[in-house]
Amino acid sequence: MATGNQEPLLQIEHLRVEFPTRRGTLIAVDDISLHIDSGEVLGVVGESGAGKSITGMSIIGLLEPPGRIAGGRIFLQSRRIDNLPYDVMRKIRGKDIGAIFQDPLTSLNPLFTIGDQIIETIRTHLHLSESQARRRAIDLLKEVGIPSAGERIDHYPHQFSGGMRQRVVIALALCAEPRLVIADEPTTALDVSIQAQIIELLKRLCKEHRTAVMLITHDMGVIAETADRVAVMYAGRIAEVGSVLDVVLHAKHPYTHGLMASIPAVGQEVDTLPQIEGSMPRLTEIPHGCSFNPRCPRVFDRCKEERPDLVPVESSFVACCLFDENIKKVAAGE
């Protein structure tokens, strides 16, 4: 929960997302709870298929049919938003919640100038005249690092490089002054030098605007550079959540250990990097007990029978049988 008496900006309680099929119901997100405070960057990390993007889509009300929220609740500033009608949620999306996706071309219409698109969004959500909205759009483009913003505002998306298009999308996400931004793999399609610039831009804007960010990625390096806290997801559940320093430097869950071990250290010379054997299970093949048990190097019998819940371990929360108090006592001979 949030520290002190302050209510979290975003609160997710026991979220469950299902995909009904002819062969049965697939569970993509299975009973997860998270919160994000104002001005905070929460990193959500895991392999493809972990449920990261579906969690983000659930928050902004853009789940692809037949996907549906089958359980749990989502609150934004103490207002429940997971059960709102489409038209009501559409007003919240853009005004209170912004979105940045992996491919900026999915967010930009190639038939309109970037100015037209930003100005339209501003005027949809803020009571500004055409000229006021244009000035705000130019200021935003300058803020995100678009050179000659007064001229570039009248250019089309194809006239920008990939990194510049992503900056435009960030400006578009922030133009109505949202309290929360869902950033889904915002740097994956960019080269390393541009990635670093976008990461630094997100951190600065978050700090200056007090905007909260849910940063969804499979890259632990991006999380380490950007996030305040991190939630590690595996097969639709949260394996570990805590401050970025605790998770990166003192990983507790075996899956998190594996993710961290796969990141090369500066100056390290090795022929091969450690890897987690196997792959993420399909939704049709989630194993009994702990879903990570077929790949876990520390698996024991209980892991194959019982599904662990998140429990506090020092300053983090971990879902792993290794941290069950009864097991600890047996191991200590008590």
pLDDT at 104: 82
- Residue, of 135 and 188, whose pLDDT is higher: 135
Sketch out the chain's domains with CATH numbers: 10-96+178-264+273-331 (3.40.50.300), 98-177 (no CATH)
pLDDT at 202: 83
C-beta separation of 39 from 180 below 8 A: no
pLDDT at 220: 84
Residue 207 in this model has a pLDDT that exceeds 90: no
Tell me the pTM: 0.90
C-beta separation of 42 from 34 below 8 A: yes
Q: Residue 291 — pLDDT band, cuts 50, 70, 90? A: very high
pLDDT in tens, 215-227: 999 888 888 888 9
Residue 331 in this model has a pLDDT that exceeds 50: no
Integer Cα distance of 308 and 39 in angstroms: 31
Residue 334 in this model has a pLDDT that exceeds 90: no
- Of the listed ranges 109-118, 129-138, 283-292, 316-325, the one predicted with least confidence: 316-325
